[in-house]
Chain A
Amino acid sequence: QSALTQPASVSGSPGQSITISCTGTSSDFADFHYVSWYQQHPGKAPQLLIYDVRYRPSGVSHRFSGSKSDNTASLTISGLQAEDEAHYYCSSYTSTSLVFGGGTKLTVL
């Protein structure tokens, strides 16, 4: 059982915005500052989208943004595109491990 809870699926139409939530369910992660988000297309390795809650690595589209409120982190994708259809995982960092959420399947209608 993941310590981080994500919705199993979300969907949206091209051009719309969607938000994926990630909630810390354990007291160990209730105050997590080091949340990152990953995108994974079928058959491919995950790729880092967001780190430290809200920062984008070089090369990641500005359409992806991250935020956090209390013990819930969120990934927002604006201007949905067909290529955004993928699985998305949140993760919380401790000093010696990573904890992942269960993943969210994004379907672009």
Chain B
Amino acid sequence: EVQLVESGGGLVQPGGSLRLSCAASGFTLSSYEMNWVRQAPGKGLEWVSYISNGDSGISYADSVKGRFTISRDNAKNSLYLQMDSLRAEDTAVYYCVKAAGTAADNWGQGTLVTVSS
């Protein structure tokens, strides 16, 4: 069974940093494209970042470009999102999302990031 478990969320001050982790099980992370998707409180889904299965392709939403970095550790079967220079508008639940072809077929339970002083 595919499982994605996010961790690392919490309360951080504006300008601070957090590193989110996503532990994958039930499949080999390195073989799949992965994404981070976020959802601000009471709002819709927003795609944040993508990494290809060969790590050759990485992309970011304009809203986080230059501040967030996606990466993975294949030995640990884990995905990461390094978030720097955090802003209040980054407050959201962050989901780790596995892609299968052209859709997001598995989602983690999410981890809440709150940016506030």
Contact = CB atoms under 8 A, between A and B. Distances in A.
Interface residues of B, number: 23
A38 B104 contact: yes
Interface in B44-87: 44-47, 50, 52, 57, 59, 61
A99 B107 CA distance: 16
Interface in B76-117: 95, 100-110
Contacts of B47: 97-100
Nearest to A87: B44
B12 interface: no
Interface stretch (A11-19, A47-55, A77-85): A47-55
A48 B59 contact: no
Contacts of A46: 45, 95, 104, 107
A100 B44 contact: yes
Interface residues of A, number: 25
B44 A89 contact: yes
Interface in A82-98: 87, 89, 91, 93, 95-98
Contacts of A87: 44
B18 interface: no
Contact of A51 (B61, B102, B110): B102
Interface string A3-38: 000000000000000000000000000000010101
Given A2-B44, A89-B44, A48 B104 contact: yes
Nearest to B33: A96
Nearest to A2: B44
26 contacts: A36-B103, A38-B104, A45-B95, A45-B110, A46-B104, A47-B107, A48-B103, A48-B105, A51-B100, A51-B101, A51-B102, A52-B101, A52-B102, A57-B105, A89-B44, A91-B45, A91-B103, A95-B57, A96-B50, A96-B57, A99-B47, A100-B44, A100-B47, A101-B44, A103-B44, A103-B45
Interface of B: 35, 37, 44-47, 50, 52, 57, 59, 61, 95, 100-110
